[in-house]
Structure 1
Amino acid sequence: MKKKLSLILMMTTLLIALAACGQKTASDTPGNGGTTADEGAASDTKTYTIAISQIVEHPSLDATREGFIAALKDAGIVEGTNLKIDYNNAQGDNTNNLSIAQKIAGGKNDLVFAIATPSALAVAQQVKDVPVVFAAVTDPLSTKIVSNLDQPGGNITGASDTNPEATTKLADFIASNFPNIKNIGLVINEGEPNAEVMAKKAEEEFKKHNIGLIKAPVTNTSEVKQAAQSLIGRVDAFYITLDNMVVSGVDGIIQVANDKKIPFFSSDRDTVEKGAFATVGFKYFDHGYQAGQMAVDILKNGKKPGEMKVSMQEKLDLILNLKSAAAQGITVTDDMKKAVQDPEKNIIQ
């Protein structure tokens, strides 16, 4: 009987201890209702939806998008966790571009990111009640995406991917190092406003050095190589602007430049990495990252797009591709290399 009573007392003591442990675990764990700290944080995290409109796929625009998403991630807005991205690519088609903007306008988004001038134009016209950030836009003023760079107004702001000084510096570099260049051939889509703006600027800068600019217009990507071939015998070098249609078909120009030993200058780093010889520019990933930081300010800090100054690329450098130089019959001199401020990053071997 005593043994039985002792056993009952032991079991009672054990049950009381277990109950106390269970009570302690529930009350001492961070968060309400006994949830873990991570679960509590997840339940407090806002979920964002961002629509992206991109006019076409090519390295510069893709890098812009990647930089934008990276800036969001660094600020804690992570795709698949608390961010849903609705990515739309118009494949260079204006009808698709308009349809995408109309679809986005009818959706529920926290922010819209427009990549390149045609996409930004369409989105600016269609989306009126959601914050819009643009990037890879050459001249947001002349294209009437915004009416003021310091105070854009409305629901839109962004980052311009050009600095007129870049064209000036490239023209100076060509004139100083290539005295035999008298005419430069420009393959161009004249229906793209940003390409026209840059072409006019380039023509003015080349003219200061008595260098002529001869245009070869295209209406689609498949015509780019043929346009380059049409310039053979009439020009001493090739040049392209931030022209989305032409950049999409730039392999054709690179092939002609290499086959005919014609120096090829571009307006963006990615085209130089791909096979052009030189530009004055920057990394488009960094450009997209800058736009992404603006988006973070809007989403997390409550800033109003219309009150945010349109940013511009201030840090410019000469970028050279030595392999392309060899392919195009160019002798790269010490003076050329000395003109590069950051040779480790901007002289491509």
Structure 2
Amino acid sequence: MMRNSIIKFCILMSLSLVTFCSFADSKTEQKFVAITAIVEHPALDNVRKGVEDELKDNGYINGENLKLQFASAQGTSANAAQIAKQFAASKPDVIVGIATPSTQALVAATKRTPIVFTAVTDPVAAKLIPSWEASKTNVTGVSDALSLDSQIDMMLKIKPDTKNIGYIYSPSEVNSTIVLKELQTALEKRNIKITAVPAPRTSDISTAARSLKGKVDLIYTTTDNNVVSAYEALAKVANESKIPLIASDPDSAERGAIAALGMSYYDLGRQAGKIVIRILNGEKPGDIPPQVGNITQLTINKKAAERQGVTLSEEVLKSAAKIVEK
């Protein structure tokens, strides 16, 4: 009788130990998140930092219960495609695509691994998802789409007599071509013209900007990765030519634009990070509807305004969330 009791006790202890070990393993199981960006510049770097901070703040520690891998495509689609194939083959739990070209490469590379896009203006036009509803695919994410009307309102507050707006863009970036079409429509309603100049390479930015001298009242830039990568060169031409430079990327104000009304790219990354965590916790990306960034801010650069011959009104200064003086 005693022997049977001891055997039963040992069996129960063994089962308890197995259950405990399984529970411990589930708590310490290492997750694998891969992140890729089309290029490295302040806005996209902030997105990445936001994703990583969100993971860390929710208990996912790189090197402990999280394997985190990052790769930059260095501005080329060929690199983006290669990185996408490598990431797909390594089978991470989630891949984060920062900017449209990198995410397009990921979507082409895998239909199974969960993909979370971010810093993408129009994921439907970019053919990342079929609609703004839950996709029922392996893709979801956060868009950085902005209201163009509020952008135009800001431009007119900076330069009220604006009749012609210059727009420098990369023809290969879907985000930029979409914004161009929408901007043309929105400006036409206000009887404002737009002069668009393509700049396929980073080295073309300065030449494109110089071609606008005497033709436009201001230059407006979006989050075109090619343009943002060479923003100091663009700002230099704007200063020399006294052409006001307005942006939709807040970080561009610190790099030479007079004003920038746009997404907080760090918060955009945090928002995408929340989706990554939901997927790590078991949700399917196809069941999570895509989102739009929910935090915008106006950044003003007073020194840039002086260099580009603009006097900022008190109304504009008071509405700024951040004022840069350099």
For residues 1-349 of structure 1, the aligned pairs below 5 Å read: 44-163=27-146, 165=147, 167-300=148-281, 302-338=282-318, 340=319, 343=320, 345-349=321-325
2:267–2:295: 8 Å Cα contact kept in structure 1?
no
Amino acid at match of 1:346: K
Q: How far is 1:177 from its partner? A: 4.5
Q: How far is 1:216 from its partner? A: 1.3
Which ranges of structure 1 fall in alignment gaps of 5 or more residues? Answer: 1-30, 33-39
> How many matched pairs?
306
1:133–1:291: 8 Å Cα contact kept in structure 2?
yes
1:65–1:288: 8 Å Cα contact kept in structure 2?
yes
Per the normalisation by structure 1, the TM-score is: 0.83
Amino acid at match of 1:278: A
Per the normalisation by structure 2, the TM-score is: 0.89
Q: How far is 1:41 from its partner? A: 6.4
Give the whole-Å Cα distance in 2 for the aligned partners of 1:173 and 1:92: 30
Q: How far is 1:121 from its partner? A: 0.8
State, as a whole percentage, how many aligned pairs show the same letter.
Answer: 38
Q: How far is 1:169 from its partner? A: 0.7
Give the whole-Å Cα distance in 1 for the aligned partners of 2:94 and 2:60: 13
Q: Alpha-carbon deviations, 1:32-54, whole Å to 9, x = none?
A: 7xxxxxxx968941101111121
Q: Alpha-carbon deviations, 1:220-251, whole Å to 9, x = none?
A: 11111111111111112111122111111111
Amino acid at match of 1:309: P
1:199–1:241: 8 Å Cα contact kept in structure 2?
no
2:29–2:65: 8 Å Cα contact kept in structure 1?
yes
Q: How far is 1:180 from its partner? A: 2.6
Give the whole-Å Cα distance in 2 for the aligned partners of 1:59 and 1:44: 35
CA RMSD of aligned residues (A): 2.0
Higher-Rg member (1/2): 1
Give the whole-Å Cα distance in 2 for the aligned partners of 1:161 and 1:214: 24
1:218–1:224: 8 Å Cα contact kept in structure 2?
yes
Amino acid at match of 2:37: Q
Moved more, 266-275 or 55-64: 266-275
Which ranges of structure 2 fall in alignment gaps of 5 or more residues? Answer: 1-15, 18-22
2:260–2:300: 8 Å Cα contact kept in structure 1?
yes
1:175–1:209: 8 Å Cα contact kept in structure 2?
no
Amino acid at match of 2:264: K
SS in structure 1 at match of 2:254? helix
Give the whole-Å Cα distance in 2 for the aligned partners of 1:262 and 1:211: 17
Q: How far is 1:285 from its partner? A: 0.5
Q: How far is 1:176 from its partner? A: 4.3
Q: How far is 1:318 from its partner? A: 3.1
2:210–2:237: 8 Å Cα contact kept in structure 1?
yes
Q: How far is 1:281 from its partner? A: 1.3
Distance change >3 Å, CA 176–CA 274, structure 1 → 2: closer
